[in-house]
Structure 1
């Protein structure tokens, strides 16, 4: 079985992580823009980071048989510095045009501030203008409230739900995300959701328009959580075709809307 991790921050991972992912069957990944752990003070710091994600990481991934794509944007963690955030977005379109950039994001809420909303709306409008998928980050605090407000903003801005993934869902938000009608992402990560929690949600809602990811970064994340979750699903009686849909076909179906994805659906199970 092949795996596609649709949200992982390999900028922060080692070569051993790449080796282990490849051995486990991870064949494709998308790396969204994220907070590096300390405040970046200049727009150029973000632009250098975009260039790294678009050029260096694909080379590292390819050495291990993994296809690397990017999702670029102004992360909500740094969106409260409006002067900086607007300057970064001013320069963003040239990077979004690159062949391996398949979506805008992560955008969304962190503190659920008016500044974050301003930066989110600007990126949503950019996604709509460029007809690109967009990854929306649901907040860590006041999560349900922030997710409900996010959906209101998505509707106000007229985004096509087919091109939106609401990510980092938990039991507190999954009903809001599913009702919106876009794609629902779940991040297997301490403090977000466990493999057991993911399966509980899939038992209730099924695998259509669902994705699971690791968001593996500097924290206590496991870059093998997607194959581990698939293995647990298999043990619990899920059909291989449903697991394939979740861990391979769904990310492809979503990201292929960019017109840049070179992967094919239906290749998740090998005999």
Structure 2
């Protein structure tokens, strides 16, 4: 279907990449420099703190993303779009106190959307926390980045999609991240947005190229963080592979830039 052509590497050097899901606030200056030099000029910073027993921990984290890391990424030529939320792996005891704080971040223009949120074990608390944040997203009409785990992925993806429908959220603003061949059809059929994390154990550039029709509406990202085995250059490397595999320039641009632009502009 897609004609294979030789694309010169110089094309990659003039592309503007958006990494649509990162924890780049954890990265070294060298990693950020490499991202900027490789054409990643925009990165979404998703909030996540490995240990957050107290609501104040996440409050401080939200402030840090806006006042410290936005400027830090800018030093390397990277525009940061901040998403704030309660990750299912770090739900504080008094998590309800964070809901108005998330709203205030959005109202003040400090946050572009809500994330990273989602389900890990899909227990009662996680479901309640996710539901309240999906309601916030509906009320503020902002995009959401949701996490799905490595186990029971299809079942949990279906649960998240159903919850978003139940609260009346626009599924065109629901990015279901960490998708793979086991969940892509569910996400596409629901008219939600596939988040394409290129990282060990999940998607590879080869898999995306082979199934480009299924993945063409997705948002490429690295999910990069110092705590995990991830590659801050996953987006430009994937774009390079796709072009060498003969995928059309327009589709590569959509995956690595335009689709994310459409989500970020609201």
- With normalisation by structure 1, the TM-score equals 0.89
Corresponding residue number in structure 2 for 1:131:
141
Deviation of residue 100 (structure 1)? 4.2
Q: Aligned in 2, Cα 1:183/1:205: closer, same or farther, shift over 3 Å?
A: same
Corresponding residue number in structure 2 for 1:119:
129
Verify: 1:145 aligned to 2:159, yes or no: no
Contact 1:78 1:85 in 2 (8 A): no
d(CA) in 1 for partners of 2:151, 2:97: 27
Aligned runs of 1:10-49 on 2, under 5 Å? Answer: 10-34=24-48, 36-37=49-50, 39-49=51-61
> Matched residue of 1:50: which SS?
helix
Verify: 1:95 aligned to 2:105, yes or no: yes
Corresponding residue number in structure 2 for 1:269:
none
Q: Aligned in 2, Cα 1:255/1:9: closer, same or farther, shift over 3 Å?
A: same
Corresponding residue number in structure 2 for 1:188:
198
Deviation of residue 105 (structure 1)? 1.4
Instruction: Indicate the larger mover: 171-180 or 99-108.
Output: 99-108
Corresponding residue number in structure 1 for 2:187:
177
Corresponding residue number in structure 2 for 1:237:
246
Deviation of residue 236 (structure 1)? 0.5
Verify: 1:156 aligned to 2:166, yes or no: yes
Corresponding residue number in structure 2 for 1:225:
234
Corresponding residue number in structure 2 for 1:262:
none
Question: 5+ unaligned residues in a row in structure 1: which ranges?
Answer: 258-271
Deviation of residue 211 (structure 1)? 0.9
Contact 2:17 2:41 in 1 (8 A): yes
Corresponding residue number in structure 2 for 1:264:
none
Q: Aligned in 2, Cα 1:119/1:206: closer, same or farther, shift over 3 Å?
A: closer
d(CA) in 2 for partners of 1:197, 1:57: 33
> Matched residue of 1:7: which SS?
strand
Question: 5+ unaligned residues in a row in structure 2: which ranges?
Answer: 1-14
Contact 2:119 2:149 in 1 (8 A): yes
d(CA) in 2 for partners of 1:238, 1:10: 28
Corresponding residue number in structure 1 for 2:265:
256
> Matched residue of 1:29: which SS?
strand
Deviation of residue 210 (structure 1)? 1.1
Corresponding residue number in structure 2 for 1:56:
68
Q: Aligned in 2, Cα 1:172/1:64: closer, same or farther, shift over 3 Å?
A: same
When the two chains are superposed, the root-mean-square deviation of aligned CA atoms in Å is: 1.4
> Matched residue of 1:222: which SS?
coil
Corresponding residue number in structure 2 for 1:8:
22
Contact 1:188 1:212 in 2 (8 A): yes
Contact 2:194 2:215 in 1 (8 A): no
Deviation of residue 201 (structure 1)? 3.1
- With normalisation by structure 2, the TM-score equals 0.90
User: Residue by residue, what CA displacement relative to the aligned partner does 1:48-84 show, whole Å, maximum 9, x if unpaired?
Assistant: 10011112111111111111110110111123x5x32
Corresponding residue number in structure 2 for 1:247:
256
Contact 2:18 2:40 in 1 (8 A): yes
